[in-house]
């Protein structure tokens, strides 16, 4: 695949993931605060819950693309899911690092910056994940899949029983986790 075509596909995937992530911001409330939905979609305004805006759509994108394209292209599943794992991790670390730097290092609180940050984090995660898929020599299917499952389970557990740390606190309600009775 040519470099221009590759970059175009990355940008398109990033836009789709970003749009899905944006919709995920509202899905928990829209579906009546459904417990199961809350395990994969943000349930409050905490930084931790907002990481789901990147994690869930990235995972869905990579999984659906694998299911659709595998037969046609014979994708290497070990490298594919390693790329997915790397995309999730890179996106989340960028979101956390830049958010905390801007919010507490520069003392800037801006929804517009947070939206732009989500897009840039997904974009860089996608580029990194696809780079890993193209150039990785690792061909172990089990490690990335187990790591992805661990991330999903971690999000679920920490949505139900989050530690009383600022990362998990909803700054508007000062509550933690999916149960509103978990007050500060």
Question: What is the pLDDT, as a whole number, of residue 181?
Answer: 43
pTM: 0.92
Determine the 3-state secondary structure of 27 from DSSP: helix
Task: Give the phi and the psi of residue 67 in degrees, each rounded to 5.
Answer: -65, -35
Is residue 105 assigned to a domain? yes
pLDDT single digits (tens) 113-157: 999 999 999 999 999 999 999 999 887 899 999 999 999 999 999
> Which tens digit of pLDDT belongs to each residue from 75-93?
999 999 999 999 999 999 9
Query: Which is more confidently placed, 74 or 7?
Result: 74
In a domain, 24, yes or no: yes
Domain membership of residue 174 (yes or no) is no
Instruction: Tell me the per-residue pLDDT of 21-75, one tens digit each, with 9 for 90 and over.
Output: 999 999 999 999 999 999 999 999 999 999 999 999 999 999 999 999 998 989 9
The pairs formed by 143-152 with CB atoms below 8 angstroms and a separation of 24 or more are 143/82, 144/78, 144/81, 144/82, 144/84, 144/85, 145/81, 147/85, 148/59, 148/81, 148/84, 148/85, 148/88, 151/55, 151/85, 151/88, 152/40, 152/59
Determine, yes or no, domain membership for 181. Answer: no
**Domain of residue 13, residue span:** 3-168
Give domain status of residue 150, yes or no: yes
**Domain membership flag for residue 107:** yes
Indicate the number of domains in the chain.
1
Residue 182 in domain: no
């Amino acid at each position: 695949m040519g470099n221009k075509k590759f970059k175009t596909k990355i940008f398109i995937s990033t836009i789709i993931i970003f749009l899905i992530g944006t919709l995920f911001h509202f899905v928990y409330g829209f579906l009546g605060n459904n417990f199961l939905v809350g395990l994969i979609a943000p349930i409050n305004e905490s930084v931790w819950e907002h990481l789901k805006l990147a994690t869930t759509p990235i995972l869905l994108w990579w999984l659906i693309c694998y299911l659709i394209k595998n037969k046609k292209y014979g994708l290497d599943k070990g490298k594919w899911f390693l790329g997915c794992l790397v995309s999730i991790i890179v996106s989340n670390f960028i979101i956390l690092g830049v958010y905390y730097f801007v919010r507490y290092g520069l003392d800037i609180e801006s929804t517009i910056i947070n939206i732009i940050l989500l897009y840039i984090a997904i974009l860089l995660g996608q580029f990194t994940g696809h780079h890993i898929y193209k150039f990785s020599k690792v061909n172990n299917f089990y490690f990335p899949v187990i790591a992805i499952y661990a991330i999903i389970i971690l999000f679920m557990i920490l949505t139900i029983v989050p530690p009383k740390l600022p990362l998990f606190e909803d700054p508007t309600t000062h509550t933690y986790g999916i149960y509103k009775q978990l007050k500060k």
